[in-house]
Structure 1
Amino acid sequence: MKFSFETLTALTPEEIWVNYATVNNWFKWEDDLIAINLEGDFKQGVSGEMTLQGMPPLAFELVEVTENKSFCDETKIPDLGSLYLNHELIKTEQGTLVRHSVSCVSLDGVDNQEHLGFLTQVFEDVPQSIFALIKASTTK
């Protein structure tokens, strides 16, 4: 099960990427972020922990990182499955398409109403976070 949101900006992928690769910059575009740390460089296989408003600390792993193009992090949710947040920067003739996707892969591989409710709640802030990311990327 997957939700995604995308919008076009005149910014280059490089102008946006710095706000992905420097996790302290996530505070600029994630309104509900309370704390975040990464146990190494921003690259595949590195783990971290984030705390979102109203939630306990959540461990995550960068499962894919392609500089100036995309990254995906995985958070394992007990008794539910894995939550994947994918962030893509797609260069086009008109500018850069910024796409964020949230997907859930259940432990048993079967989607249900509980998964939909959880995914809907997680996705709720995604469109706003993309607009905040673009704004943060235009101000140095």
Structure 2
Amino acid sequence: MSYEYEGTVSTSATPADVWHLWSDVGSWHCWDPAVQGVALEGHFAEGAAGTLTLTGNIHAPFVLEIVEPGARFLDRVTIGELVVYIDHMVKATADGAEVTVRTAVSGPNAEELGPVVAADTPKALEALIGLAEQKS
């Protein structure tokens, strides 16, 4: 069972401004309404692991599967029996940047729970872009 969601937004912010927020896990709660806090062991790099504290005081382990500085990171989050891959991509455009987030959820009841997991993505993208544009 699986579920997929993708959201893309354009911004006048630079890819570097977006990347700065993504790579600073201490700021995630500022732009992602589902995140209350993040603890990362080590640097923001492939293989680094940590714990997300999500709304409702849910503690979910995560691993940075792919980190391409300035362009992309993919994290794997485990919530009970669900496995959630969130792929974050930013690329330069003539007017700033294009930001895409793809969420893939697998496991029992993924079709039902996936929309719940991805529900805050549009709000998170809007808040991320707002903060990134303030930095520009």
Q: What's the TM-score, normalizing by structure 2?
A: 0.90
Q: Does residue 35 in structure 1 map to residue 37 in structure 2?
A: yes
**Aligned match of 1:117:** 112
Query: Structure 2 CA distance, aligned partners of 1:14 and 1:34?
Result: 24
- Say which structure, 1 or 2, has more relative contact order (CA 8 Å, 6+ apart): 2
Contact 2:28 2:37 in 1 (8 A): no
Q: Does residue 104 in structure 1 map to residue 105 in structure 2?
A: yes
**Aligned match of 2:88:** 87
Contact 2:33 2:124 in 1 (8 A): yes
Contact 2:51 2:59 in 1 (8 A): yes
Query: Structure 2 CA distance, aligned partners of 1:134 and 1:122?
Result: 20
- Structure with the bigger percentage of strand: 2
1:48-103 alpha-carbon deviations (Å, 9 max, x no partner): 101111142100000011111010110134434x2101111022234311111110
5+ residue gaps, structure 1: 107-111
5+ residue gaps, structure 2: none
- Which amino acid in 1 is paired with 2:125? I
Aligned residue-pair number:
133
Q: What aligned pairs does 1:1-140 form with structure 2 within 5 A after superposition?
A: 1-80=3-82, 82-106=83-107, 114-140=109-135
- Which amino acid in 2 is paired with 1:117? E
CA shift, 1:42, in A, is: 0.2
Secondary structure of 2:46's counterpart equals coil
1:82-130 alpha-carbon deviations (Å, 9 max, x no partner): 2101111022234311111110233xxxxx7x21111100111001100
Query: Structure 2 CA distance, aligned partners of 1:127 and 1:97?
Result: 14
Secondary structure of 1:139's counterpart equals helix
Query: Structure 1 CA distance, aligned partners of 2:30 and 2:79?
Result: 25
Q: What's the TM-score, normalizing by structure 1?
A: 0.87
Segments of 4+ in structure 1 off by > 3 A? 77-80
| Identical-residue share of aligned pairs (%) | 26
